[in-house]
Structure 1
Amino acid sequence: MLDLTKLAQQMQGIGQHLNQEAATVRQRLDRATVLVAQAAERQAELVAHHDTWGDRLGFTAACPIEPLDTAVPLTAAPNAHSVLATDGSQIAPSHHEIAYCYLVNVGRVALHYGQSRYPLLDSLPEVFYRAEDLYVSRQWGIRTEEWMGYQRTVSEAAALADLAIACQSPQPGAAPSLAMVDGSLIYWFLDPLPHEARDRLLPPILAAWERLRAARIPLVGYLSASRSSEALNFLRLHTCPHATPDCQTHCAGQSETAPCQVLTPLRDTVLWGLRLQPGQRGPFWRSSAHILSLYGEHTIYFCYAHVGSEIARIEMPEWVALDDTLRDIALSLTLTQVQKGYGYPVALAEAHNQAVVRGGDRSRFFALLEQQMIRAGLQNIGTSYKEARKRGSIA
Structure 2
Amino acid sequence: MLDLTKLARQMQGLSQHLSLEAVAGRQRLELAQQHLINAYACQQDLIERQEKWRDRILFANATPIEPLETRIDIPVPPKVHTVIATDGSQIAPSHHEIAYCYLLNIGRVVLHYGQNRHPLLDSLPEVFYRPEDLYASRQWGIRTEEWMGFCRTASEATVLAELACVAKSDAPTLAMVDGSLVYWFLEQLPLDARDRILLPILQAWQQLREAGIPLMGYLSASRNVEGINFLRLMACPHPVPDCVSYCPNQLEKVPCKVFEPLRDTSLWSTQLQPGQRGPLWRSNARILEFYEGQSIYFCYVHVGTEIARIEVPAWVVENKIMFDEALGLMLAQVQKGYGYPVAIAEAHNQAVVRGGDKARFFALLEKQMIKAGLKNVGTSYKEARKRGSIA
Partner of 1:238: 234
State TM-score, norm by structure 1. Answer: 0.98
Matched, 1:194 2:186: no
Question: What is the alpha-carbon distance in structure 1 between the residues aligned to residue 233 and residue 78 of structure 2?
Answer: 41
- Runs of 4+ in structure 1 deviating by more than 3 angstroms, as ranges, are none
Residue 365 of structure 1 and its aligned partner are, at CA, apart by: 0.5
Question: What is the alpha-carbon distance in structure 2 between the residues aligned to residue 61 and residue 352 of structure 1?
Answer: 30
**Post-superposition CA distance 1:87-146 (Å, at most 9, x none):** 000000011111110000000000000011110000000000000000000111111011
Question: What is the alpha-carbon distance in structure 2 between the residues aligned to residue 50 and residue 321 of structure 1?
Answer: 22
Matched, 1:121 2:121: yes
Partner of 1:73: 73
Partner of 1:58: 58
**Greater CA deviation, 52-61 or 115-124?**
52-61
* 8 A Cα contact 1:58 1:255, kept in partner: no
Question: What is the alpha-carbon distance in structure 1 between the residues aligned to residue 13 and residue 306 of structure 2?
Answer: 29
Structure 1 segments unaligned to the other structure (5+ residues)? none
- The amino acid of 1:31's aligned partner reads L
Partner of 1:252: 248
Partner of 2:91: 91
Partner of 2:42: 42
Partner of 1:348: 344
- The amino acid of 1:298's aligned partner reads Q
1:180 alignment partner, one of 176, 182, 196: 176
Residue 258 of structure 1 and its aligned partner are, at CA, apart by: 1.5
- The amino acid of 1:175's aligned partner reads A
- The amino acid of 1:25's aligned partner reads G
Residue 350 of structure 1 and its aligned partner are, at CA, apart by: 0.2
SS in 1 for 2:112: strand
Partner of 1:9: 9
- The amino acid of 1:63's aligned partner reads T
Question: What is the alpha-carbon distance in structure 1 between the residues aligned to residue 376 and residue 14 of structure 2?
Answer: 53
Residue 224 of structure 1 and its aligned partner are, at CA, apart by: 0.4
Q: Please give the residue correspondences for 1:215-294 in structure 2 after superposition, counting only pairs within 5 Å.
A: 215-294=211-290
Question: What is the alpha-carbon distance in structure 1 between the residues aligned to residue 113 and residue 140 of structure 2?
Answer: 46
Partner of 2:380: 384
* 8 A Cα contact 1:218 1:329, kept in partner: no
SS in 2 for 1:181: strand
- The amino acid of 2:78's aligned partner reads P
SS in 2 for 1:382: coil
Aligned length: 391
State TM-score, norm by structure 2. Answer: 0.99
* 8 A Cα contact 1:337 1:344, kept in partner: yes
Question: What is the alpha-carbon distance in structure 2 between the residues aligned to residue 340 and residue 49 of structure 1?
Answer: 43
Question: What is the alpha-carbon distance in structure 2 between the residues aligned to residue 322 and residue 274 of structure 1?
Answer: 28
Task: Quickly say closer, same or farther: Cα 1:209–1:254, change in 2 above 3 A.
Answer: closer
Residue 370 of structure 1 and its aligned partner are, at CA, apart by: 1.1
Structure 2 segments unaligned to the other structure (5+ residues)? none
* 8 A Cα contact 1:297 1:319, kept in partner: no
1:339 alignment partner, one of 335, 339, 345: 335
- The amino acid of 1:103's aligned partner reads L
Question: What is the alpha-carbon distance in structure 2 between the residues aligned to residue 278 and residue 297 of structure 1?
Answer: 34
Question: What is the alpha-carbon distance in structure 2 between the residues aligned to residue 254 and residue 301 of structure 1?
Answer: 25
Question: What is the alpha-carbon distance in structure 2 between the residues aligned to residue 51 and residue 326 of structure 1?
Answer: 29
Residue 25 of structure 1 and its aligned partner are, at CA, apart by: 1.2
- The amino acid of 2:390's aligned partner reads I
Matched, 1:206 2:202: yes
Residue 243 of structure 1 and its aligned partner are, at CA, apart by: 2.2
Partner of 2:161: 161
Matched, 1:138 2:138: yes
Question: What is the alpha-carbon distance in structure 1 between the residues aligned to residue 97 and residue 323 of structure 2?
Answer: 47
**Post-superposition CA distance 1:328-373 (Å, at most 9, x none):** 1211111000000000000000000000001111111111111111
Residue 326 of structure 1 and its aligned partner are, at CA, apart by: 1.7
SS in 2 for 1:125: strand
* 8 A Cα contact 1:219 1:317, kept in partner: yes
Task: Quickly say closer, same or farther: Cα 1:42–1:108, change in 2 above 3 A.
Answer: same
- The amino acid of 2:252's aligned partner reads E
**Greater CA deviation, 303-312 or 13-22?**
13-22
Residue 255 of structure 1 and its aligned partner are, at CA, apart by: 4.3
Partner of 1:149: 149
**Greater CA deviation, 213-222 or 12-21?**
12-21
Matched, 1:314 2:302: no
Residue 322 of structure 1 and its aligned partner are, at CA, apart by: 2.2
Residue 12 of structure 1 and its aligned partner are, at CA, apart by: 1.0
Residue 52 of structure 1 and its aligned partner are, at CA, apart by: 1.2
Residue 17 of structure 1 and its aligned partner are, at CA, apart by: 1.3
Q: CA RMSD in A?
A: 0.9
Residue 256 of structure 1 and its aligned partner are, at CA, apart by: 3.2
**Greater CA deviation, 363-372 or 104-113?**
363-372
